[in-house]
């Protein structure tokens, strides 16, 4: 049993970015200038998105991060706070600007993204130490790779020491030391990241059945990762749980059929939803089923944080 008052608490550690998006007919070639036909500034960053998704789905979420003392920082603090996220551990940097993602999207939805880490790059193990009270009460610690690996490692260690479930979203992909893999209770990857992590290994086709994933489960387990979620876009996801009883170690989670209009940030919605449901006591497979609905609903609206569903929306779809 979790001590009184700790059930459901989630600490999300990582990035907050302002997404600066230009829409255009086609993406420019190197050296070329093209005209855009629209511009938007939206709150983003993987960790801010994951925190908002988890909070809207009923999680008690603290975000540990850094923004600059500027208008983009103020926008991000307002957006995360209005979703119910505790932002008291988001540091305002006087030396670095808020992180930005400069995004171009063409008429087919194809995009190019350049990220400037800004204040996210200043997040350090000292920020993890400063947030020790939040880690001590955490049921789930949710991490991604948009801040330095040493910060992620410090957060994973703090979560582990507190007895929390450490959920690592290996995105954007980077090689991680085995020590970080060992501290990760649940790894969350898309199919491309899964393949890269396993040394450019072949992963089954997105519509392959559960049995086809057995070699992948074994490869992850050999790397010390016994609980892995692989997202497969419109094809749903697969749960690889080497700690489950034989016969139920692989679960294919069917996609939730929706009319998708914008899948940007669907992966973050999925991750936030998994964090919320693990904190609520769900099994990995139950959390993935719930997250499948939440991420699909997020894809039915343009944008990221503003498009993320509330828990009632998911429950209505599940009913």
Our finding on whether 231 is near ligand ADP (CB under 6 A) is yes
Per-residue tokens: 104: 């171009």
Our finding on whether 267 is near ligand ADP (CB under 6 A) is yes
> What is the rounded distance in angstroms from the CA atom of residue 308 to the CA atom of residue 297?
7
Our finding on whether 143 is near ligand ADP (CB under 6 A) is no
> What sign does the dihedral 140-253-53-177 (CA atoms) show?
positive
User: Annotated catalytic, 268?
Assistant: yes
User: Per-residue x/- marks for ligand ADP, 119-138, CB under 6 A?
Assistant: --------------------
Question: How many Å separate Cα 141 from the centre of its chain?
Answer: 11
Closest separation between CB of residue 298 and ligand ADP, Å? 7
Residue 66: φ, ψ to 5°: -145, 140
In the chain, what are the helix, strand and coil shares in percent, each to the nearest 5? Answer: 40, 25, 35
Closest separation between CB of residue 100 and ligand ADP, Å? 20
- Binding ligand ADP by CB under 6 A: which of 34, 102, 212, 234? 234
Our finding on whether 258 is near ligand ADP (CB under 6 A) is yes
Our finding on whether 256 is near ligand ADP (CB under 6 A) is yes
Our finding on whether 237 is near ligand ADP (CB under 6 A) is yes
> What is the rounded distance in angstroms from the CA atom of residue 139 to the CA atom of residue 131?
15
Q: Which of 23, 272, 265, 27 is nearest to 142 (CA)?
A: 272
C-beta of residue 119 within 8 angstroms of C-beta of residue 73: yes
Our finding on whether 232 is near ligand ADP (CB under 6 A) is yes
C-beta of residue 183 within 8 angstroms of C-beta of residue 205: no
Per-residue tokens: 229: 């979620």
Our finding on whether 272 is near ligand ADP (CB under 6 A) is no
Strands 250-253 and 36-44: unpaired
Query: Which residue, 77 or 278, has its beta carbon nearer to ligand ADP?
Result: 278
Q: Scan residues 172-201 and list those touching ligand ADP (CB under 6 A).
A: 190
Listed ranges 3-11, 32-40, 72-80, 295-303: which one lies at the site for ligand ADP (CB under 6 A): 295-303
- Binding ligand ADP by CB under 6 A: which of 236, 272, 303, 309? 236
Contact footprint for ligand ADP (CB under 6 A): 190, 231-234, 236-237, 255-256, 258, 260, 263, 266-267, 270, 292, 295-296, 299
Active site residues: 268
């Amino acid at each position: 049993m979790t001590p009184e008052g700790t059930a459901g608490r989630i600490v999300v550690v990582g990035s907050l970015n302002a997404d600066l998006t230009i829409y255009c007919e086609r993406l420019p070639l190197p050296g070329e200038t093209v005209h855009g036909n629209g511009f938007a500034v939206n709150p983003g960053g993987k960790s801010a998105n994951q925190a908002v998704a988890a909070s809207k789905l009923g999680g008690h979420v603290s975000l540990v991060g850094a923004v600059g003392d500027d208008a983009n920082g103020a926008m991000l603090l307002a957006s995360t706070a209005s979703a119910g996220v505790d932002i008291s551990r988001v540091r305002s940097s006087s030396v670095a600007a808020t992180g930005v993602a400069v995004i171009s999207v063409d008429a087919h939805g194809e995009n190019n993204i350049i990220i400037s880490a800004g204040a996210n790059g200043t997040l350090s193990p000292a920020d993890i130490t400063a947030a020790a009270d939040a880690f001590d009460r955490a049921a789930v610690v949710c991490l991604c790779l948009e801040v330095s690996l040493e910060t992620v490692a410090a957060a994973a260690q703090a979560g582990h020491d507190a007895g929390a479930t450490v959920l690592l979203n290996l995105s954007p992909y980077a090689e991680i030391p085995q020590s970080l893999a060992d501290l990760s209770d649940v790894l969350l990857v898309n199919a491309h990241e899964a393949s890269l992590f396993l040394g450019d290994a072949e992963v089954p086709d997105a519509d392959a059945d559960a049995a086809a994933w057995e070699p992948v489960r074994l490869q992850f387990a050999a790397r010390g990762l016994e609980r892995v979620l692989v997202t497969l876009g419109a094809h749903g996801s697969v749960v690889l749980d080497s700690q489950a009883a034989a016969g139920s170690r692989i679960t294919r989670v069917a996609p939730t059929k929706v009319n998708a209009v914008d899948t940007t940030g669907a992966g973050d919605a999925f991750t936030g939803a998994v964090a919320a449901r693990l904190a609520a006591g769900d099994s990995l497979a139950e959390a993935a089923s719930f997250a499948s609905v939440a991420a699909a609903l997020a894809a039915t609206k343009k944008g990221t944080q503003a498009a993320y569903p509330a828990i009632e929306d998911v429950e209505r779809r599940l009913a």
